[in-house]
Amino acid sequence: MTRSTFKTIENTINKAFEGIFERHSDIVDKQSKTAGTSIYLDGRKLLQISDSTKNRIEILILRDSKQNYYRPHYAGIDIRNIRKYDPSQASYIKPWGYMFYRVLLTREEFVQNSDVIYNLIDSSYHTANNDDILKVEKTNHEILGPIFNNTYDVMINQ
């Protein structure tokens, strides 16, 4: 990644944070050397933003309880599970980050789709605010099957 590309991504991330803090004044951010910046509401993590490979921004967004915790689908945006759910392998019965999904965007994709991204973040905020974060134990891990295998279409009011 060139220095100018990194600076462009850094500026885009900063712009994203400005928009998030304008919308939700009761959140706090914490920096990490390895994971970028995370955003919390009353100690509950709802978001993480960092630079990624291939000149992209990585955003981990808390799954929306109102959408059955399914992963959103929106044409033109790379949205995926962080890890797979596979109960046949011990480390994937309750995979790290199961309560989040991952969004990978270039700077241009963020600018073109910022209304969608902010909408997803707002839903994440409401899930955290309602203390309705997905919680899974080894005894009920099978609920992750449909959560990881289903999506819902994101609708944005124009």
Angle separating helix axes 114-129 and 3-23, nearest 10 degrees:
50
Q: What is the mean pLDDT of residues 55-75?
A: 94
* pLDDT the model gives residue 125: 93
pLDDT in tens, 4-44: 444 565 666 667 777 777 888 898 888 877 777 888 999 99
Lowest mean pLDDT among 11-15, 27-31, 120-124, 134-138: 11-15
What tokens appear for 111 in the block? 């600018």
Q: What is the mean pLDDT of residues 138-153?
A: 95
* pLDDT the model gives residue 156: 75
Model confidence at 143, in pLDDT bands (50, 70, 90)? very high
Q: Are strands 71-73 and 151-153 parallel, antiparallel or unpaired?
A: parallel
Q: What is the pTM of this model?
A: 0.87
The alpha carbon of 146 is separated from its chain's Cα centroid by a whole number of angstroms, namely 18
> In sequence order, which residues have a C-beta less than 8 Å from that of residue 141 and are 6 or more positions away?
85, 87, 93, 94
Cα distance between residue 15 and residue 63, in whole Å: 23
pLDDT > 90: percent of the chain: 49
